[in-house]
Amino acid sequence: METINSSALKGPKTFHFKVDGHNYQSSKQIVSGLEIRQSAGLPADAELYVDMPHGWQDHFVSCDDQIDLGKPGVEKFITLGKKTVIFVNGTPYDYHKEKVSYEQIVELAHVPGQGAVGYIVKYSNGPKENPSGLMSPGTEVYVRNKMDFNVKSTHQS
């Protein structure tokens, strides 16, 4: 009579992890930060952290970091809200939306408009959708962290 190895019946080993409380698994013991993001359906630029217990500082996980899921227990990760700071005429502002309008930028600029007929709004260091350019009334652009806006008033001649 032939004996069967019980480990052969189990099949390939799976490694478990959690992202924001949701369960995921991998057939690989070593995975990259990008693979974890992809498994959880997160964008590549999502801020992902190893969830450290009991007040320890959470550790940021870059896309290139290699994570060993083979340690005892289930590895836990969390995402934190992405912090975006835009600069308007050199002044930093926290901004929490995907796009910003011409009117919002002009309001943040606090440019004296005595006799102004309008404003020139130039931007740079933007995302791939709009890396740099000019804004006009009624338009909006995608924002990214450390994006620069320069606002000047136009005057009648």
Segment-wise mean pLDDT, segments of 10 residues, the chain, 157 residues = 53 88 94 94 81 75 92 88 84 88 93 72 92 96 91 75
Shared-domain flag, residues 70 and 107 = no
Return the pLDDT at 77: 92
Shared-domain flag, residues 93 and 73 = no
Pairing state between β 75-80 and 47-50: antiparallel
Return the pLDDT at 53: 74
Shared-domain flag, residues 23 and 75 = yes
Torsion angle of the four alpha carbons 67, 58, 91, 147, in this order, in degrees rounded to the nearest 10: 20
Shared-domain flag, residues 73 and 49 = yes
Where among 32, 53, 80 does a domain terminate? 80
Return the pLDDT at 114: 57
Shared-domain flag, residues 97 and 123 = yes
pTM to 2 decimals? 0.51
Return the pLDDT at 84: 81
The SS3 call for residue 22 is strand
Asked if residue 60 is part of any domain, the answer here is yes
C-alpha span between 67 and 30 (Å, rounded): 5
Asked if residue 5 is part of any domain, the answer here is no
Return the pLDDT at 85: 87
Provide the residue range defining the domain that includes 151.
85-155
- In the chain, how many domains are there? 2
Return the pLDDT at 157: 47
Return the pLDDT at 111: 77
Retrieve residue 118's tokens. 């309008």
